[in-house]
Amino acid sequence: MNVIKTKTVLNFDMMLSLLLFLAFAPCCIHSEEQLLVSMTLVPNATAYGARCLDGSLPAYHLHRGFGAGANNWILQFEGGGWCNDVSSCLERANTRRGSTRLMSRLEVFSGILSNNASLNPDFYNWNRVKLRYCDGASFSGDSKFDNGTSLLYFRGQKIWEAIIHDLLPKGLASASKALLSGCSAGGLATFLHCDSLTKMLPSNASVKCLSDAGFFLDVRDMSSNYSMRSFYHDLVALQGIEKNLNQNCMRSINQPELYALRYITTPYFILNSAYDVFQFHHSLVPPSADLQGHWNGCKLNPAACDANQIDVLQGMRHDMLAALKSFYKNSTSGGMFINSCFAHCQSESRDTWFAAGSPRIHNKTIAEAVGDWYFDRGVTKEIDCAYPCDSTCHNLIPSSPQVMSFYAH
C-alpha cells in the first residue's frame, strides 16, 4: 500500500486524509483479520555467500502450522520487479527491495498465507513462509559487482539455498506436503527453483509448485521490439544467472516460443490473468512504445480502450493461451486458472483468493481451483471467456501508468 505524504496543518485536512484512506484502502485489510508475522534473519547466511544487494542478511517470515497441517509447508517467494543494470541495482539496494535493513519487520499474511480456515480452507494450518526478496533477480543470481567505489551482491541463488537450509532443521526436512509459490518476480522464481525443492525434500513428500502472475510472455511490443526479452537478457548477464538455469532448457534456447515450463517435472499450477496488467503496461505497451501516451487512458481503465486497442489486448490473451496450449493439452499433473481480469497477483489477497466476491471461472474461486488441483480432487484447468464477459473480476490497476515499474510492483 502506498503511503501518501501530505503537508497537514489543519485538523480538517487530517480528517479528510483519514477518510480518503479508509475509502480506498483494500477491503481485505481489517485489523480483526490481520495476521502479522515477524521477520527471521538467516544468521549463517554469509557461510553460503548469501547477501542482499546491499550486503545485508536475507530473511523470511514463518508462521507455524498446527493440527493436521503441522508437517506441511507453503513457501512463498515475495515479488517486486528486477534490476538489470548497475545504476538501477544501486538504486534498488537503498530500498526495501534490496536491503532487509529497510524492510518492515512484520508482514501481513493473507490469501494463501492466511491462518483462517474460512479464508484459506486448504492451507490455513500449514507452516507458511514468505521469503523476502532483496536480490533483484528472482532469487537466481550468483555474482558480485565491485568497482572500488560501489559494491553490489547478486546472490539470489545463494539466498534461496541459505533460507532452505535454515528451514530444513525447523521441520521442512520431514515435510509430508509442500507447495512452492510466488507472485510476479516471485512467480518467476518458482519456475527456477521448483524441481530443486523437490530434490531437497523427502522422496515420499508431495511437492508441487504454483506461479501467480509469473508466466511472462516472450512477444513483440507495439514497436515490434522484444522489450522483455532484451530486459531479461541484460538481467541474466549482469547477475550471473545462466549457470543456475535449467540446462536442458538452455540447450534448446534457439527454439521458437521456448518456455521453461516444459522442462519442469514437478506438478505445476499456472495462475495468471490473460490481461496481466504488468505485462500489458511493460511488455505489450511499454512507455518506449507509446511516447505520445495514446494508451494511457486505456491502461487506467479498460472501458476507455477503443476498438483497435481491445483487438490488441485480445491478441495478448491469444498469445497467452497459445503459449500454454501444450501444457493445457498434455500435462496430466498440471493445473491452470487463466482469468480475464486486469490484475497482477491474485493469490496473496483475501479478496481475490477466497471470498464471497472473489473472481470465479465456472463458479470456482482461485483457492478452490488450487486446492482441487493440489489434493487431486479433480482436474483443474480453468480458462475464462474473453474480456469483458467476466463480471466477477477485481480489476487491480495501478493509479498511473508509471506506478507499476520493473523496480517495484
Catalytic residues: 184, 276, 344
**Residue 9 neighbours by CB under 8 Å, 6+ apart:** none
User: Count of CB atoms within 10 A of residue 311's CB?
Assistant: 10
β partners of residue 153: 144
In angstroms, how far is CA 181 from the centroid of its own chain?
A: 8
DSSP element (H, E) containing 190: helix 185-200
Sort strands 59-63 and 127-131 into parallel, antiparallel or unpaired: antiparallel
Q: Which of 212, 219, 290 is nearest to 257 (CA)?
A: 219
Q: How far apart are CA 360 and CA 347, in angstroms?
A: 13
- The set of cell numbers assigned to 275 is 490481461
In this structure, is the dihedral angle defined by the CA atoms of residues 307, 313, 319 and 321, taken in order, positive or negative? negative
Closest CA to 179 of 332, 377, 373: 373
Cα 294 versus chain centre, distance: 29
Grid cell for residue 52: 542482499
Which residue type sits at 297? G
Residues shown for the chain: 409
Determine the angle formed by the axes of helices 185-200 and 156-167, rounding to 10 degrees.
50
Residue 63 grid coordinates: 508462521
Q: How far apart are CA 248 and CA 245, in angstroms?
A: 9
Q: Are 405 and 88 in contact (CB under 8 A)?
A: no
Return the C-alpha torsion angle 183, 186, 190, 191, nearest 10. Answer: 100
- How far apart are alpha carbons 390 and 53 in whole angstroms? 41
Question: Are the beta carbons of 240 and 304 closer than 8 angstroms?
Answer: no
